Amino acid sequence: MLVITCPNCGDRPELEFRCGGEAHIARPQTPAELDDGQWGAFLFTRTNPKGVHAERWIHQHGCGRWFNALRDTVSDRLIATYPMGTPRPDAGAGAAPSSPASPTSQP
Amino acid sequence: MLETGRLARRAAVLPAASVTRGAVVIRPLGAQSRFSLRTRPATAEALGTVAGFTLALPINRMSTAGERTSLRLGPDEWLLIGPEAETDELAEAVSAEFGERVFSLVDVSHRNVGIEITGRNAAHVLNAGCPLDLAEAAFPVGMATRTVLGKAEIVLARTGVDAWRVECWRSFATYVHGFLGEGALDFVAVTG
């Protein structure tokens, strides 16, 4: 089971969480001025990267709050979590290994 | 319009008798008044205490004063538990102390059912369906959080080293009670 670090509650099992899709997608300020293509892109087009992906998660069965997480879509490793409204941290992007656990984390 | 007040009687959903499995005792708690309180963290910090309920707590901690217990479940959410007979008075007292400040207070007395589980192996029984680390270092006495037990959402609070309180929704109560009873069967031969 994955252990996800909630910014409010600390390390918790993944059963308590739900994923809410890609993070940092801002709703257009003036939707009426968009054409169908632009609106469709806002609704449906996602980056779907192979590698580090910024996602929204909610601690549904815990504090009930949303937060953002960086997850590696190859290894399913959660690299970092950070509160809603804060910019995506850069540190995790390069430092995240897609390989299994690093030797330093083993006893 | 007929005003019935909040002290409406409702039949208990669980049998009142305790279930004993070896050293583990599972006891449904009686009726109590419960409120879900939502307010801004800064407001709670400024007030500190309302109507005998401590709000200035770290997240996932509880505080008990007499018959009044407050559990901080999130940055802006508290579960207040008090005596059943004072339901109306508690709601009025909390509202009065908040005054003009922004808050939301919802009576959930009948939504929840409380179950107490005590005994040396109580944490292991809970771990039959709860994935949290329930060792004392990770989940000390006084910690309280929402989590899952099997397929039901519960609020779990550690009231003593070997004493826990489980709060679940009324419609989940028979499931949760049965789940705990089944989980405790594993420890009958060891301790009994």
For B106-140, how does the pLDDT look when each residue is reduced to its tens digit (9 = 90+)?
999 999 999 999 999 999 999 999 999 999 999 99
Q: Which of B63, B82, B108 is the last residue of a domain?
A: B108
pLDDT at position A22 is 95
CB B126 within 8 A of CB B135: no
Q: With respect to residue B75, please indicate whether it lies within any of the assigned structural domains.
A: yes
Question: Which of A8, A17, A67 to mutate against chain B (most B CBs within 10 Å)?
Answer: A8
Q: With respect to residue B4, please indicate whether it lies within any of the assigned structural domains.
A: no
Cβ contacts (< 8 Å) between B77 and chain A: which residues?
63-64
Residues B44-82 have pLDDT tens digits of 999 999 999 999 999 999 999 999 999 999 999 999 999
Are B26 and B57 in a shared domain?
Answer: no
How far is the C-alpha of B73 from the C-alpha of B108, rounded, in Å?
Answer: 15
The whole domain housing B40 covers: 32-108
Q: With respect to residue B154, please indicate whether it lies within any of the assigned structural domains.
A: yes
Are B58 and B77 in a shared domain?
Answer: yes
Q: With respect to residue B1, please indicate whether it lies within any of the assigned structural domains.
A: no
Q: Do B59 and A13 touch (CB under 8 A)?
A: no
Q: Do A62 and B77 touch (CB under 8 A)?
A: no
Are B129 and B146 in a shared domain?
Answer: yes
Q: With respect to residue A101, please indicate whether it lies within any of the assigned structural domains.
A: no
Q: With respect to residue B116, please indicate whether it lies within any of the assigned structural domains.
A: yes
pLDDT at position B6 is 57
Q: With respect to residue B6, please indicate whether it lies within any of the assigned structural domains.
A: no
Are B120 and B174 in a shared domain?
Answer: yes
Are B74 and B57 in a shared domain?
Answer: yes
Q: With respect to residue B69, please indicate whether it lies within any of the assigned structural domains.
A: yes
Name the closest residue on chain B to residue A2, using Cα atoms. B131
Give the closest of B59, B75, B153 to A61, CB-based. Answer: B153
Instruction: Give me the number of domains chain B comprises.
Output: 2
Taking residues A51-63, report their average pLDDT: 96
Q: Is the pLDDT of residue B171 over 90?
A: yes
Does the global pTM surpass 0.90? no
Q: Is B99 exposed, middle or buried (0-12, 13-18, 19+ CB in 10 A)?
A: exposed
Q: Which residues, numbered 64 to 83 in chain B, qualify as contacts with chain A under a Cβ-Cβ cut-off of 8 Å?
A: 73-75, 77
Q: Which of B108, B131, B155 is the last residue of a domain?
A: B108
Are B27 and B119 in a shared domain?
Answer: yes
Q: With respect to residue B23, please indicate whether it lies within any of the assigned structural domains.
A: yes
Q: Is the pLDDT of residue B192 over 90?
A: no
- ipTM of the complex as predicted: 0.86
Least Cα distance to B53 among B68, B38, B41 occurs for: B68
- Binned at pLDDT 50, 70 and 90, residue A90 comes out as confident
Are B46 and B63 in a shared domain?
Answer: yes
For chain A, list residues whose CB is within 8 angstroms of any CB belonging to chain B: 1, 8-9, 12-13, 15-16, 61-65
Give the closest of A13, A64, A65 to B132, CB-based. Answer: A13
State the CATH number of the domain containing residue B85. Answer: 3.30.70.1520
Instruction: Give me the number of domains chain A comprises.
Output: 1
CB B19 within 8 A of CB B182: no
How far is the C-alpha of B183 from the C-alpha of A52, rounded, in Å?
Answer: 40
Are B88 and B139 in a shared domain?
Answer: no
